[in-house]
Amino acid sequence: MPVLFLPVIDAPKKKAKQRRSGEPAPQTPRAECERHLLTADLIVINSSGGKDSQTALEEVVKTCDRLGIPRSKLLVVHADLGEVEWKGTLELAREQAQHYGIRFEVESYRSEKKERRTLLEHIILRGMWPDSVNRYCTSDFKRNPICRVFTRHAHAHYGRRVSKLPAGRTRFKVVNCLGMRAAESDARRLLPNWVANKANTNPIKEVWNWLPIFDLSTAEVWDRIKASGVRHHWAYDLGMPRLSCCFCIFSPRAALILAGKHNRDLLVKYVAAEKQMGHTFRQNISLAEVLAAVDAGEKVERVDDWEM
């Protein structure tokens, strides 16, 4: 997971420049990652229902089976974004977990007051769309809900008195598996394949992030999916290269039109939100224009992949 560097601190600022210049993070040998798996109390696989998390799940199961780690230690978690997801995403993520006999849990956004809301409702409340600098769609709706899973399971194991663990008792150890790959973007190419998740480590639990398919190409991902026999999401068959939100802030115009063609009612809600907030979806793309293109029957010949 990328580290957020605050511009007011000089040393990290220098590091950030190195990362932007194309210096990859050190990579951890596979054998070392596997040693951590053997001592983990819980191995969490993040699942969006998309091709990369689907393949990451298969890779984690395959690795754990080889190491003799019981599948009871594995858990698939889906961060539910609500209506903004492609139809059938939650159900498919559950189906993929069940294929391997792995427990499945769903988490979603909760405010500090424990209020639940969908991503679109949250966007309207904030009055602005997410962007490359303010990616609260990822932090608030994906990362934070899944981190609650770590805490819940650690508390179930040790109780809530985190400062008074019995002498000699070790922390609850979580390996958090994500389907990010180096081939997806220049930014992701710089990520470490294994890193301590310091933000979620405390006296009761230690958390590590692992990218089990970091070195796979997109072609290799699809080869693995075909060989597995596990169903993939139908949006890919339409020509979508990613299974993210139906209308991702990073997707090109062609992807927005294709998604709008198959999710018109949701697009209408997005257009209404755009008008209500007075904030264009992206600086160079208005969703009102996308809806007009959909209704005009504009054809999409090809959808290029986009960087996250």
* Neighbour-count burial of 193, counting CB atoms closer than 10 A to its CB (0-12 exposed, 13-18 middle, 19+ buried): buried
Lowest mean pLDDT segment, chosen from 55-69, 71-85, 94-108, 128-142: 128-142
pTM to 2 decimals?
A: 0.88
Q: Which of 185, 265, 266 is nearest to 218 (CA)?
A: 185
Q: Which range among 15-29, 166-180, 202-216 shows the weakest confidence by mean pLDDT? A: 15-29
- The torsion of the CA quartet 264, 258, 142, 104, rounded to 10 degrees, works out to 90
**Mean pLDDT across the stretch 125-145?**
91
pLDDT above 70 coverage of the chain, percent: 90
DSSP annotation of 245:
B
Distance CA 242, CA 249 (A): 13
- Sorted by where each starts, the structural domains of the chain and their CATH numbers stand as 10-210 (3.40.50), 239-308 (no CATH)
Contact criterion met (CB below 8 Å) for 107 and 101 = no
Residues of the chain with pLDDT > 90, as a percent, come to 76
